[in-house]
Amino acid sequence: MARLGENCYGKSRVRISRITRIQDPQKGDRHEFQEWTVRVLLHGDFDASFTATDNSKILPTDTMKNTVYSIARDSKAATIEEFAMELGDYLLHENAHVSKVGIEIEEKAWERMVIDGVPEATAFRLAGPEVQTVEAVRERGKPWAIAAGIDGLTILKTTKSAFTGYIQDRLTTLKPATDRIFGTRATVTWDYMSPSQNFAAARTRIVSALLREFAAHNSMSVQHTLFDMGKAALEAAPEIARIHLAMPNLHHLLADLSPFGQDNPNHIFAPIDEPHGAIEATIER
């Protein structure tokens, strides 16, 4: 006999671009530009739609898409965290049978162009490839749980990285390294202690701390650097309870030039991203 277990439904990959026009007599008029990809998930009393062909409690996912656009039209939210909560609160308010809502948003890294040292008022370039992320979840009658982050943070340094002292068995071919390239495409998420935060300021401090620690760190392994990056982020942002980092080790292998009669004093490398090391951990207070 079959029974319905936990279930939910929603709308994914809702893409939205937003221009905010700012009138400033002192600094001049300018635009802010944001591009988001939104996912909505609803949990609640939907059993009959699965088991009894009864759609009377189903909010169409097309309506969810339209809701994203409509709420964004009048929203004053400056960050994806604020917009996620605003959108989710609306869906809970308007749908009494919904017990929990989850909102996930990615934001592309558009930044203002600077031409001859002067910021352009209405022109932007895409940085990255990283995107800012948030996952906001709220059960009816309870506060928001906010997990923000950054996905695809691609960073590399050409020194201050070693890997020695590891297990060497009959299948080990890797040679110890005391000076190697360290590259990664990190996925980072952090949990806020409270949904009442200056999200933009906290994000800036967290990312700055991660990058500063990565650049300065004398790494004995990816694990070593990952932990100290997480520790630095916790110190920089008392608003967060924990931070999770996933840092694949994207290898740059020293090319063998000896068949050509040439040496290779850490000069020419072959970059590979598959297979790669997979290292991740949560750093908590």
Residue with tokens 């590259």: 183
The mean per-residue pLDDT over the stretch 49-68 comes to: 97
Contact (Cβ atoms closer than 8 angstroms) between residue 281 and residue 223? yes
pLDDT at 35 over 90: yes
For 147-178, b where at least 16 C-beta lie within 10 A, e where not — what string?
bbbbbebebebeeebbbeeeeeeeeeeeeeee
Residue with tokens 């994207």: 250
Please state which of the ranges 83-92, 96-105, 267-276 shows the lowest mean pLDDT: 267-276
Rg (CA), the chain: 24
The mean per-residue pLDDT over the stretch 141-150 comes to: 98
* CATH entry 3.30.360.10 includes domain 8-142: no
pLDDT given at position 128: 85
Same fold, 8-142 and 150-285: yes
Q: How far is CA 53 from CA 9, 45, 46, 222, in A?
A: 15, 14, 10, 52
Q: Which of 11, 43, 65, 217 is catalytic?
A: 11
- Backbone phi and psi for residue 133, each to the nearest 5 degrees, phi listed first: -135, 155
Residue 276 is a catalytic residue? no
Q: Tokens representing 118?
A: 């002067």
Q: Tokens representing 262?
A: 């040439």
C-beta atoms surrounding 261 within 10 Å: 6
Q: Which of 43, 108, 217, 251 is catalytic?
A: 251
Q: Which of 57, 61, 224, 276 is catalytic?
A: 61
Q: How far is CA 246 from CA 112, 184, 233, in A?
A: 29, 9, 14
* Measured distance CA(112)–CA(16) in Å, rounded: 19
- Please state the CATH superfamily assignment of the domain spanning residues 150-285 in this structure: Urate Oxidase; (3.10.270.10)
pLDDT given at position 184: 97
- The string of pLDDT tens digits covering residues 239-273 is 999 999 999 999 999 999 999 999 999 999 999 98
pLDDT given at position 248: 96
pLDDT at 176 over 90: yes
Residue 204 is a catalytic residue? no
pLDDT at 27 over 90: no
Q: How confident is the model at residue 149 (pLDDT cuts 50, 70, 90)?
A: very high
Handedness of CA 172, 178, 181, 185 (dihedral sign): positive
- Sequence ranges of the domains in the chain: 8-142, 150-285
- pLDDT, averaged across the chain: 96
Q: Is 233 exposed, middle or buried (0-12, 13-18, 19+ CB in 10 A)?
A: buried
**Overall pTM > 0.95:** no
Handedness of CA 84, 38, 148, 215 (dihedral sign): negative
Q: How confident is the model at residue 26 (pLDDT cuts 50, 70, 90)?
A: confident
Q: How confident is the model at residue 213 (pLDDT cuts 50, 70, 90)?
A: very high
pLDDT given at position 223: 98
Residue 251 is a catalytic residue? yes
Percent of the chain with pLDDT over 70: 100
The mean per-residue pLDDT over the stretch 84-101 comes to: 97
